[in-house]
Amino acid sequence: MVIKRIGIGLVGLLVVAFIAVFFVVPGPLISTAARTGQGMLFAEIDGRDAVVIAYDDDGYSGFGFFNPWDLGGRITALDLDTGETIWNRGLGDDEPAFLTRMLAAGENYAYLRTTFGFLVISLADGSTVATEDDFSDAVDFADLTTEVAFSPSQNAIMIGAEDAPVRKIALDTLEVVDVDAATSDTWSCVVAWNGHGYAESDTEAVTVDQLPTGGEVLGFGVPSGSAPGTPGKRLSRLNDDGSGRSVGGAIFVDPGFVAQSVAVEPSPGACPHAQWDDDVFPGGRTIAVPLGTADGYGVVDHAQSARTDDRQISVVDAASGEVLGSSPAEGGLFDAAIAPSGQSVVIVDRFLPGVLPSWGTTPVTASVLLISPEGSMREIVLAPHGWLGLPW
């Protein structure tokens, strides 16, 4: 009898454990975890200034029994003024697309490169207008030697492929056309496999030590009388001799001004004789443009305190040093850009564990900070998941 009871007890335990593991435990552990693609695009959609962002939704969504939400690569358009989602769709028709690289946006179309090919997206609703199959007569986008880059001066996506001349797709068109000899001499080595093309990491956000604004230059300095290694720094108005005057009383630990890393166009006609990157990009591939300089504010990336590496983004008034707003960014700065309409967009990595923090979750997720020309900040968390993996 004893053995019988033990046996029944063990079977019961296994059944309970099975139900718990597959149906109960996942709920609290479901997490929000998204990673944005490289770059972001700006467009006017239905009269609204919008930022278009692609992301991979990697959040743990339980075992998928109850989750109708498409995971994988997605793309969304956010209203820059209100933060509202204008549209949000899965990327790719037949198979999901990941690690999206945002190339450029015209008035009607956005052009993207993903691990699964080349996509053209309608800015009106996020639907896929064309895939690489639609260009297969002209370009083999599946070939790893095919490289693409955006040229602002040509207002086109420049395309290079092994043993093929440079071609382009003008924005808002779906036609691949040849370029003239001069344009080819400028771009052939930039869109060449293993050539002098834009490095992907060069287009991510950077921080700079100084913020030029209103005819002055702001920086950070150790409060007077403190040891050089004091972690907290004050916003300072820098003089020509390198000295500075404190602006406001706020203290920032390990600070830097957030800047957009803007790609520079290649030197005209440099490719035929180029041996080094400097021959094509004499001043470097990118220039750093600090956010807020035109509007009198600075965006500061700093540690939350001297006791942690967790980061924070704060907007400070350049004239008074007043902190206009702050948002946690535990995982740090990821990307930043200035919209043509004047708003700044900063993408950071947040730490958002599931309902119950657990080692089973992946708590780092992308969050979008929309900063108005007045310096007010609004946070939009991408791809949140609630109980059973459903969107919040």
Q: Which is nearer to another protein, 68 or 242 (CB)?
A: 242
Q: How many residues does the chain have?
A: 392
Q: Which is nearer to another protein, 14 or 174 (CB)?
A: 14
Binding stretches for another protein (CB under 8 A): 3-4, 6-8, 10-11, 14, 222-223, 225-232, 253, 305-309, 359
User: Rounded to the nearest whole angstrom, what is the least distance from the CB of residue 23 to another protein in the complex?
Assistant: 21
User: Rounded to the nearest whole angstrom, what is the least distance from the CB of residue 309 to another protein in the complex?
Assistant: 7
User: Rounded to the nearest whole angstrom, what is the least distance from the CB of residue 388 to another protein in the complex?
Assistant: 24
Q: Which is nearer to another protein, 47 or 228 (CB)?
A: 228
User: Rounded to the nearest whole angstrom, what is the least distance from the CB of residue 9 to another protein in the complex?
Assistant: 9
Cα 117 from Cα 140, distance rounded (Å)? 10
The torsion of the CA quartet 164, 175, 199, 91, rounded to 10 degrees, works out to -130
Structural tokens at position 33: 């975890």
Cα 33 from Cα 10, distance rounded (Å)? 37
Q: Which is nearer to another protein, 5 or 273 (CB)?
A: 5
Q: Which is nearer to another protein, 11 or 24 (CB)?
A: 11
Q: Which is nearer to another protein, 10 or 355 (CB)?
A: 10
Structural tokens at position 150: 């955006």
User: Rounded to the nearest whole angstrom, what is the least distance from the CB of residue 6 to another protein in the complex?
Assistant: 7
User: Rounded to the nearest whole angstrom, what is the least distance from the CB of residue 325 to another protein in the complex?
Assistant: 23
